[in-house]
């Protein structure tokens, strides 16, 4: 990471800190008091020892005030530091919370293209490490590095004023050499840390992907392959981790040598000063106390600097997520869509995911309000892309899409999607209760509405037979339910939303014939007063459609009602005859 990126990461935190100006200023005041008390402790100890030294004065007395002051200053230093930490905790954790929420919100605003390419495990680990890095950076940079530098300056000034300049020179030289050495070695070590992060994210991606696809792994007996791939990535992580730890030992040994050399030199000078009568025992204790007091945080400063550099590296990956550009954004003057009828119109729509692969070519059709429009065709013909464009997951490169004569590019995405409901072919559920997954269609709905939606989707009786009923946990991605049960639940969720425009993307493909007929009747009843787009594989489910579009290679090659298309004796008629013969064969079997 470059210093430019470091400052960019730090600047990103400033707006969050500014929201707590009062707390920050009060915390800094407590910090100042703590450091002043800390610097005063060796001074009181010196005077107490000089008062007890028989060679320093003829009368020995107990310096009660000095000893009491020594104890009070120790207490004050600790108390002010703890109060500071308690006061600043809200600043740190509220900032972490807001940044993490901001990133999640931003991820949800990114295009479908980003989410089709993302690696969930890596993103999760990046956010986790980045949030931890923010907490460390805010706490230690403000309350450890700056105070330590201030304390170094105060101690150096006291030594320079009260003692021979050689003490201040040795102290300052030792500190500068220590800091320079720490910076150089830490920068060298950062490449291992970055490599560790990269391999850690990759290994996490591998593990999560493997567990999510548990059944597929079992189907093909590839447990050893998954573990082998995971272990291969961990081997790279292990190599970088060993280099990281070895380089840390090099850093710590060098720091120890520098501090020990400086401390030894100063104590030899102070000891010689006592022997020569130029310094008192109190002076020796004072210098020793200051050195220990100085080098302890200085040693910690090395650790803090290392961790700050690590935190900045971690934050770099997390903030990189915020830099991902939103491909689909609302216009500045976008208004909420006003849907009263729900008429959907595609006008000369052309679309491609990549310039060299055209998905839709000059698509035009109108789904009239309250009517059912079906789309059929082979896989890859562009059927599901029409639904994605309607939801505005993408914008077409040519033409436009209207709902009730309003171009969907000129309205807010949030209002648009509120009025559209979909039952997808591949239903993925949250690892929560059945009730939660149905209520997700309309979180404000009451229990009666959720139950009614389940009954409409022919799901209520099944739920009632479960030991935990609506409180049954469906498992990750709904793995505890069958394909048919998941799709019925998805239908219930969409029915609860009660949108103006309904989309069924092969919604009954995973159902048996009996369930398909029962749900098909419910879909017909529910769709009576709604504009309905149905992507169908089984043509028997769309014979009642007001209009059927037959697509192939991104174009509409036939359109009309079921009877009209049969009369044309074209592609649709061939598909119908093929499916009918297949059904008859199954019935005979």
Per-residue pLDDT of 389-399, as tens digits, reads: 998 888 899 99
Judge if 446 and 573 occupy the same domain: no
- Among the listed residues 294, 290, 292, 288, the one whose alpha carbon sits nearest the alpha carbon of residue 273: 288
Domain count, the chain: 3
Q: Are residues 298 and 271 in the same domain?
A: yes
132 and 220 inside one domain? yes
**Within a domain: residue 263?**
yes
Encoded tokens for 231: 């272990």
- Residue 161: inside a domain: yes
Percent of the chain with pLDDT over 70: 83
User: In the predicted model, what is the mean pLDDT of residues 116-132?
Assistant: 66
Whether 307 and 387 share a structural domain: no
Range of the domain at 374: 337-419+502-515+527-589
Q: Is residue 91 part of a domain?
A: yes
| Structural domain contains residue 330 | no
The pairing of beta strand 372-376 with beta strand 501-505: unpaired
Mark which of 322, 353, 371 sits at the end of a domain.
322
pLDDT at 1: 45
CATH (domain of 436): 3.40.50.300
Of 291, 322, 353, which residue is a domain's last? 322
Contacts within 8 Å (CB) and 24+ apart, 107-113: 107/321, 109/326, 110/324, 110/326, 110/327, 111/326, 111/327, 111/328, 111/393, 111/394, 112/388, 112/393, 112/394, 113/327, 113/353, 113/394
Q: What is the CATH number of the domain that holds 29?
A: 1.20.1560.10
Q: Quick one: 458 and 406 in the same domain? A: no
Q: Give the count of alpha carbons within 13 A of 269, CB side only.
A: 18
Q: How many Å apart are CA 372 and CA 394, to the nearest integer?
A: 24
Q: What local confidence, expressed as pLDDT, does residue 411 receive? A: 92
The pLDDT, as a whole number, for residue 268 is: 87
Domain assignment of residue 22, yes or no:
yes
Higher pLDDT pick, 134 / 232: 232
- If pLDDT is split at 50, 70 and 90, which confidence band does 589 have? very low
223 lies in the same domain as 355: no
pLDDT tens-digit readout, 563-580: 999 999 989 999 898 888
Does the pLDDT value for residue 514 go beyond 70? Answer: no
Report the pLDDT value the prediction gives residue 548, as an integer from 0 to 100. 93
What is the DSSP code (8-state) at residue 471?
A: G
- pLDDT > 90? residue 141: no
Residues 344 and 377 in one domain: yes
Mean pLDDT of 473-501: 82
Per-residue confidence (pLDDT) for residue 398, from 0 to 100:
93
| Residues 238, 177 within the same domain | yes
Domain match, 341 and 468 both: no
Indicate whether 317 pLDDT > 80.
Answer: no
Q: What is the mean pLDDT of residues 185-206?
A: 80
Q: What tokens were used for 75? A: 């207490």
Domain assignment present for 6: no
Based on the domain organization, do 434 and 532 belong to the same domain? no
- Residues 145 and 61 reside in one and the same domain: yes
Q: Both 107 and 183 in a single domain? A: yes
Task: Give the pLDDT confidence score for residue 407 in this predicted structure.
Answer: 92
Taking only the tens place, the pLDDT of each residue in 447-463 is 999 999 888 888 898 89
pTM attached to this predicted model: 0.62
Highest mean pLDDT among 3-12, 114-123, 189-198, 434-443 belongs to 434-443
Token pair 């033409």 is at which residue? Answer: 399
The tens digit of pLDDT for each residue in 239-295 reads 888 988 888 888 888 888 888 888 888 888 888 887 887 877 777 777 777 777 776
More confident residue, 470 or 520: 470
Q: Which of 262, 287, 322 is where one domain is finished?
A: 322
Would 463 be classed as within a structural domain?
Answer: yes
Mean pLDDT, residues 207-235: 82
Higher pLDDT pick, 20 / 239: 239
- pLDDT at residue 568, rounded to an integer: 92
Residue 36 lies in a domain: yes
* Each residue's pLDDT tens digit, 343-373: 999 999 999 887 778 889 999 999 998 889 9
């Amino acid at each position: 990471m470059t210093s430019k990126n470091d400052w960019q990461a730090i600047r990103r935190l400033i707006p969050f800190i500014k929201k707590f100006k009062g707390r920050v200023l009060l915390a800094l005041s407590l910090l100042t008091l703590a450091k002043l008390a800390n610097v005063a402790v060796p001074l009181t100890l010196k005077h107490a020892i000089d008062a007890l030294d028989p060679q320093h004065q003829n009368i020995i007395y107990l310096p009660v005030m000095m000893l009491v002051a020594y104890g009070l200053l120790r207490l004050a230093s600790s108390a002010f530091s703890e109060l500071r930490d308690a006061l600043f905790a809200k600043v740190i954790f509220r900032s972490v919370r807001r940044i993490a929420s901001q990133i999640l919100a931003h991820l949800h605003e990114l295009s479908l293209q980003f989410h089709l390419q993302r690696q969930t495990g890596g993103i999760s680990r990046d956010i986790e490490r980045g949030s931890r890095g923010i907490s460390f950076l805010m706490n230690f940079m403000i309350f450890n590095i700056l105070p330590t530098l201030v304390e170094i300056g105060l101690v150096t000034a006291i030594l320079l004023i009260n003692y021979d300049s050689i003490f201040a020179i040795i102290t300052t030289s030792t500190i500068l050499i220590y800091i320079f050495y720490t910076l150089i070695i830490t920068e060298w070590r950062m490449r291992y840390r970055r490599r560790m992060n990269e391999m850690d994210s990759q290994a996490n991606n591998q593990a999560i992907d493997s567990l999510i696809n548990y059944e597929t792994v079992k189907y093909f007996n590839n447990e050893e392959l998954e573990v082998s791939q995971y272990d291969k990535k961990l081997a790279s992580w292990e190599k970088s981790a060993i280099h990281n730890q070895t380089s840390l030992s090099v850093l710590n040994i060098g720091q120890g040598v520098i501090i020990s050399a400086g401390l030894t030199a100063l104590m030899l000078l102070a000891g010689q000063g006592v022997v020569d009568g130029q310094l008192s025992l109190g002076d020796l204790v004072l210098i020793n106390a200051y050195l220990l007091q100085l080098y302890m945080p200085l040693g910690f400063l090395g650790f803090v600097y290392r961790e700050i550099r690590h935190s900045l590296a971690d934050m770099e990956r997390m903030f990189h997520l915020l830099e991902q550009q939103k491909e689909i954004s609302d216009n500045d003057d976008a208004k909420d869509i006003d849907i009263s009828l729900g008429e959907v119109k595609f006008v000369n729509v052309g679309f491609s995911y990549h310039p060299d692969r055209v998905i839709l070519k000059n698509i035009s059709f109108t789904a009239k309000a309250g009517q059912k429009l079906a789309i059929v065709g082979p896989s890859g013909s562009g059927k599901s892309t029409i639904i994605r464009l309607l939801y505005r997951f993408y914008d077409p490169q040519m033409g436009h899409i209207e709902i009730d004569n309003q171009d969907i590019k000129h309205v807010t995405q949030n209002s648009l999607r509120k009025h559209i409901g979909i039952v997808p072919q591949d239903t993925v559920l949250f690892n929560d209760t059945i009730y939660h997954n149905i209520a997700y269609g309309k979180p404000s709905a009451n229990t009666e509405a959720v139950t009614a939606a389940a009954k409409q989707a022919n799901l209520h009786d099944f739920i009632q037979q479960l030991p935990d009923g609506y409180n049954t946990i469906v498992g990750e991605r709904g793995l505890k339910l069958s394909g048919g049960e998941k799709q019925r639940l998805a239908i219930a969720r969409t029915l609860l939303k009660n949108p103006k425009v309904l989309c069924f993307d092969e919604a009954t493909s995973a159902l048996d014939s009996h369930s398909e007929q029962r749900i098909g009747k419910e879909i017909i009843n529910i769709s009576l007063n709604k504009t309905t787009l149905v992507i169908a594989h089984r043509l028997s489910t769309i014979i009642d459609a007001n209009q059927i579009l037959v697509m192939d290679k991104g174009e509409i090659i036939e359109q009309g009602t079921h009877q009209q298309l049969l009369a044309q004796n074209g592609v649709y008629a061939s598909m119908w005859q093929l499916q009918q013969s297949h059904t008859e064969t199954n019935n005979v079997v």
